[in-house]
Amino acid sequence: MTAFKLGPRQIAQFERDGFVVIPGFFSDAEIAPLREACHLDPSIGGRLRAVADSAGNAQDVIEWTTLSDDYLGVLPRLARLIDGSEALLGKPVYHWHSKLSMKAPHSVGRWDWHQDYPYWYDEGALSPDMLTCMIAVDRATRANGCVSVVPGSHRYGRIDHVRIGASSGCDPQRLELIQRRSPPVPVELESGDACFFHCNTLHASSGNSADYPRTLLHCTYNAIDNSPFIEEGQEHHRFRPFEKLADTALVEHRWNAVFENHPFNSFGDPGAVNRYGYQVLARGPTH
- Domain at 222, CATH number: 2.60.120.620
Rounded mean pLDDT, 124-143: 98
Domain that holds residue 44: 8-249
Q: Does any domain span residue 192? A: yes
Q: How confident is the model at residue 287 (pLDDT cuts 50, 70, 90)?
A: very low
What's the pLDDT at 70?
Answer: 98
Please tell me the number of Cα atoms within 13 Å of 106 on its side-chain side: 3
Q: Which amino acid is at 161?
A: H
Closest CA to 184 of 162, 202, 169, 209: 202
Q: Does any domain span residue 264? A: no
Q: Does any domain span residue 182? A: yes
Burial 272-284 (b: 16+ CB within 10 A, else e): ebeebbbbbbeee
Closest CA to 96 of 71, 114, 113, 121: 121
Tell me the C-alpha to C-alpha distance, in Å, between residue 80 and each of 3, 29, 140.
Answer: 7, 16, 21
Q: Does any domain span residue 258? A: no
Rounded mean pLDDT, 10-32: 98
Q: Does any domain span residue 276? A: no
- What is the pTM for the complete model shown? 0.95
Q: How, if at all, do strands 130-136 and 167-170 pair?
A: unpaired
What's the pLDDT at 283?
Answer: 53
Number of domains in the chain: 1
Q: Does any domain span residue 69? A: yes
Residue 191: pLDDT above 50? yes
- Mutual orientation of helices 8-17 and 79-89 as an angle, nearest 10°? 60
What's the pLDDT at 280?
Answer: 82
Return the minimum-mean-pLDDT range out of 1-15, 85-99, 140-154. Answer: 1-15
Q: Does any domain span residue 284? A: no
Q: Does any domain span residue 93? A: yes
The rounded distance, in Å, linking the Cα atoms of 76 and 228 is: 20
Residue 284: pLDDT above 50? no
| Tens digit of each residue's pLDDT (9 = 90 or more) over 34-88 | 999 999 999 999 999 999 999 999 999 999 999 999 999 999 999 999 999 999 9
